[in-house]
């Protein structure tokens, strides 16, 4: 679903953060206050994708929370993990009393001690919203017995009051799902932190079949095979004699260097895209010697790639 960014091109619309309102709360958040994000806006503007991005950032997330429970949720503990002090909710016109109750509930939240609140309003152009409802074939909440166009126009009019309360307005007309996710990551991640990509370096043997979950596959059967050395046959690529035997060959050293260089370039691209998991499969014939040794070597070579959590798994060893 195309969805957009905090820099809308529509004239006379406040689309960037009101800095005079946000900066004091950011400094307060740095002192350990609970961060409480409320996402609202037009139906079809990408709120469900936004809440998933916030969940990936470690927020405790609730979709379609009754408005009257907002102050209550801000007061109760949500756990003891990394997201205990970061909460995000979606509220919108699906709740019948939203327009009546939300201004008071949000004002109460802003006045609460120890809470760093932020209201984000998502919107999109009329044509983009019509296209999305046509593609998903889902009914607009205000168009049960009339056209989608009429429902969109009424909702936009009714939400003007809530829109004026927002700390940030994002126009999602032209954003992809990945761009929307990245916009939230840039906006809300703490300091240089971003959710790491979990990269699995998976060794395997071709004679046992390709791994079904592999995103990238590298064939190292061209390297010298310890299986044909009697003293090494019963060992694996984790044993020192096998490692030393393979490293004596220039082809092994060159391949590890080139694969490490390629992956050092590639992995940050997946981080930028917002990918959560990546499986890099390295295969040899039996999956005991060459692929194991190369996978272990790559783990050490890639250890300094930022925002990546490396793990090694040997499927057939």
Return the CATH number at 147: 3.40.50.300
Distance CA 43, CA 143 (A): 11
Give the per-residue pLDDT at 84.
Answer: 58
The contacts found for 16-23 with CB under 8 angstroms, 24 or more apart, are: 16/168, 16/169, 17/167, 17/168, 18/167, 21/167, 22/118, 22/167, 22/168
Which tokens in the block code for residue 210?
């390709």
Give the per-residue pLDDT at 64.
Answer: 87
Give the per-residue pLDDT at 255.
Answer: 97
Mean pLDDT throughout 172-179?
82
Do residues 206 and 154 share a domain? no
pLDDT grade, residue 179 (50/70/90)?
confident
**281 φψ region: left (φ > 0), alpha (ψ -120 to 50), beta (else):** beta
Q: In the predicted model, is pLDDT for residue 15 greater than 60? A: no
Give the per-residue pLDDT at 316.
Answer: 95
Residue percentage of the chain with pLDDT more than 70? 85
pLDDT tens-place string over residues 49-77? 899 888 888 889 999 888 989 988 988 86
Give the per-residue pLDDT at 153.
Answer: 92
Please, which residues bridge with residue 72 across strands? none
pTM of the full structure = 0.57
Give the per-residue pLDDT at 33.
Answer: 76
pLDDT tens-place string over residues 251-275? 999 999 999 999 999 999 988 776 7
The mean pLDDT value of the chain amounts to 84
Q: In the predicted model, is pLDDT for residue 191 greater than 50? A: no
Reduced to 3 states (helix: H, G, I; strand: E, B; else coil), residue 202 is strand
Q: Which has the minimum average pLDDT: 59-63, 74-78, 153-157, 190-194?
A: 190-194
Q: In the predicted model, is pLDDT for residue 279 greater than 90? A: yes
Distance CA 310, CA 314 (A): 14
Do residues 159 and 229 share a domain? no
Do residues 48 and 162 share a domain? yes
Q: Using CA of residue 136, residue 141, residue 144, residue 146, what is the dihedral sign? A: negative
Inside any domain, residue 11: no
**113 Cβ contact partners less than 8 Å away, ≥ 6 residues apart:** none
Do residues 28 and 147 share a domain? yes
Higher pLDDT, residue 279 or 4: 279
pLDDT tens-place string over residues 207-246? 999 998 899 999 999 999 999 999 999 999 999 999 999 9
Residue pair 66/89 in contact (Cβ under 8 Å)? The answer is no
Do residues 156 and 40 share a domain? yes
Domain limits at 209? 197-314
The count of other CB atoms within 10 Å of the CB of residue 77 is: 9
User: Where a domain ends, among 140, 165, 188?
Assistant: 188
Number of domains the chain is built from: 2
Do residues 106 and 222 share a domain? no
Give the per-residue pLDDT at 81.
Answer: 52
Inside any domain, residue 2: no
Do residues 207 and 177 share a domain? no
Q: Which has the minimum average pLDDT: 9-13, 240-244, 277-281?
A: 9-13
Name the helix (H) or strand (E) containing 30.
helix 19-30
Higher pLDDT, residue 315 or 113: 315
Distance CA 241, CA 232 (A): 7
Higher pLDDT, residue 237 or 23: 237
**299 φψ region: left (φ > 0), alpha (ψ -120 to 50), beta (else):** alpha
Do residues 114 and 217 share a domain? no
Give the per-residue pLDDT at 31.
Answer: 47
pLDDT grade, residue 133 (50/70/90)?
confident
Higher pLDDT, residue 2 or 76: 76
Do residues 221 and 286 share a domain? yes
Mean pLDDT throughout 268-289?
89
Do residues 28 and 154 share a domain? yes
Give the per-residue pLDDT at 106.
Answer: 92
pLDDT tens-place string over residues 80-125? 554 458 899 999 888 878 888 899 999 999 998 888 899 999 999 9
- In degrees and rounded to multiples of 5, residue 36 shows phi and psi of -130, 110
pLDDT grade, residue 28 (50/70/90)?
very low
């Amino acid at each position: 679903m195309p969805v957009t960014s905090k820099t809308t091109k529509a004239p006379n619309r406040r689309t960037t953060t009101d800095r005079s309102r946000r900066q004091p709360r950011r400094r307060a958040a740095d002192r350990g206050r609970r961060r409480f994000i409320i996402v609202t806006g037009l139906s079809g503007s990408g709120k469900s994708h936004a809440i998933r991005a916030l969940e990936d950032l470690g927020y405790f997330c609730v979709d379609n929370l009754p408005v009257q429970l907002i102050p209550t949720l801000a007061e109760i503990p949500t756990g003891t993990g990394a997201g205990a002090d970061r909460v995000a909710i979606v509220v919108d016109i699906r709740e019948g009393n939203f327009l009546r109750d939300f201004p008071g509930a949000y004002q109460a939240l802003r006045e609460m001690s120890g809470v760093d609140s932020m209201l984000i309003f998502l919107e999109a152009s009329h044509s983009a919203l019509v296209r999305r409802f046509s593609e998903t074939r889902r009914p607009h909440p205000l168009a049960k017995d009339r056209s989608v166009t009429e429902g969109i126009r009424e909702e936009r009019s009714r939400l003007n009051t809530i829109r004026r309360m927002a700390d940030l307005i994002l126009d999602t007309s032209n954003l992809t799902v990945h761009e929307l996710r990245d916009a939230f990551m840039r906006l809300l991640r703490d300091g240089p932190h971003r959710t790491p990509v979990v990269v699995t370096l998976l060794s395997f043997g071709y004679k046992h079949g390709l791994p079904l979950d592999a995103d990238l596959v590298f064939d190292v059967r061209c390297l010298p095979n310890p299986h044909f050395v009697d003293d090494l046959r019963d060992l694996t690529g984790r044993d020192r004699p096998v490692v030393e035997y393979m490293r004596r060959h220039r082809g092994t050293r060159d391949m590890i260097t080139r694969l490490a260089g390629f992956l050092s370039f590639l992995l940050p691209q997946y981080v930028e895209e917002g990918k959560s998991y990546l499986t890099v499969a390295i295969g040899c014939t039996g999956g005991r010697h060459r692929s194991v040794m190369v996978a272990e070597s790559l783990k050490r070579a890639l250890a300094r790639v930022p925002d990546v959590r490396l793990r090694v798994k040997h499927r057939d060893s």
